[in-house]
């Protein structure tokens, strides 16, 4: 009987089938595989998936706002709803022409965030499309860029550290004006003479478990269900080669790690900072 209740849904559809525009409908657009987000002085724009997920791999190719993108933020993230929400973030903080984008990552568990890690990129993210993937399973969350892992958040729930494994999350993407903080802490403002600002996304794939309410907490985590590929032991930790890639990124391109910001936390770093994450 239990097997009959399983509704493991793998979504492998384009933007038009998977997402809907929720903000800026007057200038954002979805056409098949392509989503275009637009920001001008009237508004930004946003889209979200029609259904939530619990565990799997969420990916999209993104071409960020070119030239002077200072003050703008392109966001691509998973989130549940409510004050005790879970969230897994990619945010891309714009900059003046010639200066690098900052990749801002964060994870919220039960409404608590403040787990930021930031990176520069090893390529120009405005020149072409690049793949940004959030891989999320019962063991760990991994942020990938072009199949290279840049960050890991491991499950230490059995030691009292919250982990996002009990709330379905939709996928969201948006382009908005955040010039009060996005570029150099808000010192550089959006130059509206460069508007409209356009971010382009394509090849959205959610190879993930559809959230069907509380029953999904166990169903989507089970490694006894063949379609739950993300629960396979092979995905419990990074491979040796992936560890090498992760260390390369973190040694050369990481610019902020909350776990090293003792001043911010008055010397009381969050407990996960003392755990092995990868």
Query: How many whole angstroms separate alpha carbon 155 and alpha carbon 165?
Result: 9
Q: Tokens in use for 12?
A: 């492998």
**Residue with token string 């059995």:** 158
**Residue with token string 């999320």:** 136
What is the model's pLDDT at position 3? 37
Tell me the mean pLDDT per 10 residues along the chain, length 278: 43 78 97 95 97 96 96 98 97 93 98 97 98 98 98 98 98 96 88 97 95 96 93 95 98 98 95 95
- Assess contact for 104 and 93: CB atoms under 8 A: yes
Which of 174, 183, 176 is CA-nearest to residue 39? Answer: 176
What is the model's pLDDT at position 12? 56
Which of 87, 88, 41, 33 is CA-nearest to residue 63? Answer: 33
pTM of the model: 0.94
- Assess contact for 28 and 20: CB atoms under 8 A: no
Q: Which of 33, 87, 157, 159 is catalytic?
A: 87
Q: Which of 91, 99, 116, 157 is catalytic?
A: 91
Instruction: Determine whether 91 is an active site residue.
Output: yes
CA distances from 226 to 90, 153, 174, 217 (A): 29, 25, 34, 16
E runs forming strands in 32-139: 34-39, 45-49, 53-63, 72-79, 87-93, 102-108, 117-119, 130-136
Instruction: Determine whether 157 is an active site residue.
Output: no
Q: Tokens in use for 249?
A: 């990124």
Q: What is the dihedral of CA 109, 113, 115, 120, to 10 degrees?
A: 110
Query: How many whole angstroms separate alpha carbon 190 and alpha carbon 72?
Result: 7
- 179 alpha-carbon distance from chain centroid: 21
What is the model's pLDDT at position 10? 53
- Assess contact for 254 and 117: CB atoms under 8 A: yes
The dihedrals phi and psi of 22, each to the nearest 5 degrees, come to: -115, -10
């Amino acid at each position: 009987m239990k097997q009959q209740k399983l509704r493991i849904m793998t979504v492998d559809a384009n933007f038009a089938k998977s997402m809907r525009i929720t903000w800026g409908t007057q200038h954002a657009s979805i056409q098949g595989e392509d989503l275009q987000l637009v920001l001008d002085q009237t508004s930004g724009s946003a889209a979200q998936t029609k259904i939530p997920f619990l565990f799997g791999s969420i990916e999209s190719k993104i071409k960020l706002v070119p030239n002077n993108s200072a003050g703008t933020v392109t966001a691509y993230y998973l989130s549940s709803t409510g004050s005790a929400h879970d969230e897994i973030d990619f945010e891309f903080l714009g900059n003046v022409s010639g200066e690098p984008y900052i990749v801002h990552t964060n994870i919220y568990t039960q409404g608590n965030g403040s787990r930021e890690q930031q990176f520069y990129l090893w390529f120009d993210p405005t020149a072409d499309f690049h793949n940004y993937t959030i891989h999320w399973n019962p063991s760990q969350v991994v942020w990938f860029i072009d199949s290279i892992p840049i960050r890991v958040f491991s499950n230490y729930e059995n030691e009292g550290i919250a982990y996002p494994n009990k709330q379905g999350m939709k996928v969201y993407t948006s382009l908005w004006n955040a010039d009060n903080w996005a570029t150099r802490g808000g010192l550089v403002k959006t130059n509206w003479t460069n508007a409209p600002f356009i971010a382009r996304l394509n090849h959205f794939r959610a190879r993930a478990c559809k959230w069907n309410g509380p029953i999904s907490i166990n169903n989507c985590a089970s490694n006894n269900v063949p379609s739950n590929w993300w629960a396979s032991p092979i995905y419990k930790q990074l491979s040796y080669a992936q560890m090498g890639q992760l260390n390369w990124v973190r040694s050369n391109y990481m610019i902020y790690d909350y776990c090293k910001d003792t001043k911010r936390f008055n010397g009381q770093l969050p407990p996960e900072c003392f755990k092995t994450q990868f």
